[in-house]
């Protein structure tokens, strides 16, 4: 009876989060430099989806809702969920609550790859490398270096891995700054600088299937592995004794993390903090069991990111702040307050 009651409570929590996410998406589409009535928002989206007559609405209203805001909030939600999922995976691999794709340098590698694509133009023998492919290559290279130098005989040394990640993060940040410094086109430099602090300003409908697709693939690959993730937190030796192929699981987690980070970074730029903090907050609410943690975290991460993007758009409207600035400004005080007020356990 108690177990059924607990399941009912958790189901209610998930339903509440889904409703809150939908409400957040609607509010994010409604508000901006030009506020549009809720009824008009629903009517325009409904009309576009089902090919209804929208002649009673101005083209500017339709474009703002359908072409600008709706794809942006969908990609923002997927980015928040994907970064949080990556943070959970990195923390499970290293058994360290400080780990995330930024601490381990993966995001810096992805950013360096993306900046090379944005600013350097065609490369010798290669030509113009697309942004997504260049970002993925930078992230994958960084992940391989981190796990090669951070492990020995297949066993990960958490401290060494984080140190290698921090060193690579500094290296790729320096490389990125050199490329920006040597680029003569000031407009491209300004665009790249704004992108490096995180922005969904250039998002359109072509990004939506990519963001939704990569998040879906990540969830499909990871959700069957929740038992193995729980075992990794306890310890690799214990996980092996329970039949977990730790080497295979780690490489799956690495590849999924690299895929998510590189694709999302190529669309949104470098947005820090989310993958590090949201899992901490979630563990204090639902515990460390990954079956509950993953679902709760990806929903909360999506909500957080959409609100951060909304604040970035309206705080100094009509100018738009980089969303990475907002995530840090909003999230850091909350996280420090949480650590001050509650006892945090990584494996409770």
Determine contact, residues 331/303, Cβ cutoff 8 Å.
Answer: no
For 85-143, what is each residue's pLDDT tens digit? Answer: 999 998 888 777 767 777 778 888 888 888 888 777 655 544 466 777 787 788 888 88
pLDDT exceeds 70 at position 6: no
Selection from 61, 78, 67, 87 nearest residue 25 by Cα: 78
Question: For the chain, which residues make up each domain, given as ranges?
Answer: 2-341
Q: Token digits for 152?
A: 């020995």
Cα torsion for 202, 272, 300, 35, to the nearest 10°? -40
- Residue 295 has a pLDDT of 93
Cα end-to-end distance, the chain, whole Å: 23
- Residue 342 has a pLDDT of 56
Selection from 52, 113, 120 nearest residue 269 by Cα: 113
HEC assignment per residue over the chain: CHHHHHHHHHHHHHHHHHHHHHHHHHHHHHCCCCCCCHHHHHHHHHHHHCCCCCCCCCHHHHHHHHHHHHHHHHHHHHHHHHHHHHHHHHHHHHCCCCCCCCCCCHHHHHHHHHHHHHHCCCECCCECCCHHHHHHHHHHHHHHHHHHHCEECCEECHHHHHHHHHHHHHHHHHHHHHHHHHCCCHHHHHHHHHHHCCCCCCCCHHHHHHHHHHHHHHHHHHHHHHHHHHHHHHCHHHHHHCCCCHHHHHHHHHHHHHHHHHHHHHHHCCCCCHHHHHHHHHHHHHCCCHHHHHHHHHHHHHHHHHHHHHHHHHCCCCCCCCHHHHHHHHHHHHHHHHHHHCCCCCCC
Distance between CA atoms of residues 262 and 240, nearest Å: 30
In terms of pLDDT, which residue wins out, 306 or 147? 306
Distance between CA atoms of residues 93 and 96, nearest Å: 8
Q: Name, of 21-35, 225-239, 299-313, the range with top average pLDDT.
A: 299-313
- Residue 213 has a pLDDT of 95
- Residue 127 has a pLDDT of 46
pLDDT exceeds 80 at position 41: yes
Determine contact, residues 305/77, Cβ cutoff 8 Å.
Answer: yes
Class at the top of the CATH hierarchy for domain 2-341: mainly alpha
Mean pLDDT rounded to a whole number for the chain: 82
- Residue 221 has a pLDDT of 94
- Residue 293 has a pLDDT of 92
pLDDT exceeds 90 at position 74: yes
Distance between CA atoms of residues 340 and 329, nearest Å: 18
């Amino acid at each position: 009876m108690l177990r059924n009651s607990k399941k009912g409570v958790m189901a209610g929590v998930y339903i509440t989060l889904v409703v809150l996410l939908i409400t957040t998406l609607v509010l994010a589409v409604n508000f901006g430099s030009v506020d549009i009535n809720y009824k008009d928002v629903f009517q325009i989206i409904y009309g576009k989806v089902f090919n209804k007559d929208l002649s009673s609405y101005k083209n500017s209203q339709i474009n703002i809702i359908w072409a600008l805001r709706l794809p942006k909030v969908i990609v923002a939600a997927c980015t928040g969920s994907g970064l949080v999922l990556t943070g959970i995976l990195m923390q499970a691999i290293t058994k360290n609550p400080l780990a995330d794709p930024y601490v381990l340098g993966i995001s810096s590698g992805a950013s360096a790859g993306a900046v090379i694509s944005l600013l350097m133009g065609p490369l010798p023998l290669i030509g113009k490398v697309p942004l997504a492919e260049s970002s993925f290559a930078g992230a994958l290279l960084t992940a391989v270096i981190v796990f090669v130098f951070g492990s020995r005989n297949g066993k990960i040394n958490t401290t060494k891995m984080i140190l290698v990640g921090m060193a690579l993060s500094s290296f790729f940040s320096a490389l990125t700054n050199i490329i920006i410094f040597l680029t003569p086109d000031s407009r491209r430099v300004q665009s790249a600088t704004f992108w490096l602090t995180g922005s969904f300003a250039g998002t359109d409908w072509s990004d939506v299937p990519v963001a939704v697709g990569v998040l879906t693939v990540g969830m499909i690959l990871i959700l069957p592995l929740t038992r193995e993730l729980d075992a990794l937190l306890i310890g690799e030796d214990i996980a092996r004794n329970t039949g977990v192929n730790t080497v295979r699981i780690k490489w799956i987690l690495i590849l999924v993390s690299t895929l998510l980070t590189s694709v999302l970074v190529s669309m949104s730029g470098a947005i820090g903090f989310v993958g590090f903090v949201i899992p901490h907050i979630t563990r204090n609410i639902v515990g460390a069991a990954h079956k509950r943690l993953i679902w709760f975290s990806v929903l909360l991460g999506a909500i957080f990111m959409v609100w951060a993007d909304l604040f970035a758009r309206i705080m100094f409207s009509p100018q738009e702040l980089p969303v990475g600035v907002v995530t840090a400004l909003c999230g850091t005080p909350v996280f420090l307050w949480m650590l001050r007020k509650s006892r945090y356990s990584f494996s409770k």
